[in-house]
Amino acid sequence: MSNHHNNGARTGETEQMAPSQCLKVFIQRDYSEGTVVKFQTRFPSELDGRIERQAFELTINRLNEYFAEAEKASCSSYCEGCLACLTAYLIYICKETHYEKCLRKVSKFVAEQNERVYQPRGLTVTDPSLRGLRVIEISCLDRPPNA
């Protein structure tokens, strides 16, 4: 379920956008499969007319794929954990974890999507890791086309 929030607006106030404020749409985590990092793919009504449903779903699905890859147990990640234990985790001074590499991919993908898809439409996606992997924040930087 997506929630929207207009910075500074109190409950009951009319939603008016001042130059320093913007509409924010939050894509919540999907806990239907447990606590793995996965975001809901339902298209928020606040983005209707701002971006195509397919472009939005492609972004969310790709992010979900990156997080699934990050949390996937493999021989490599098992060996990484064993080596970390054997070296009292000092190995991480000179080596990135598999999870960190995947988070870097997520950041790169979000930056590319912002540049190619979202910013030309007056939107910006905030990297989920900057929000503690709790939500994906989409900021609407301009007024809706019908306003």
Give the per-residue pLDDT at 19: 43
Which stretches within the chain are classed as H helix?
53-71, 75-86, 98-113
Question: Residue with structure tokens 């910006």?
Answer: 124
Q: Work out the angle between the directed axes of helices 98-113 and 75-86 (0-180°, nearest 10).
A: 120
Task: Count, in order, helices (H) and strands (E) of the chain.
Answer: 3, 4
DSSP-derived secondary structure letter, 23: E
The neighbour count for residue 86, using CB atoms within 10 Å, is 10
pLDDT tens digits, 50-77: 999 999 999 999 999 999 999 999 999 8
Give the per-residue pLDDT at 3: 52
- Is residue 122 within 8 A of residue 140, CB to CB? The reply is yes
Alpha carbon 46 to chain centroid, angstroms:
17
Domain borders along the chain are 2-71+105-140
> Residue 26: pLDDT above 50?
yes
Give the per-residue pLDDT at 21: 73
Q: What is the pTM of this model?
A: 0.78
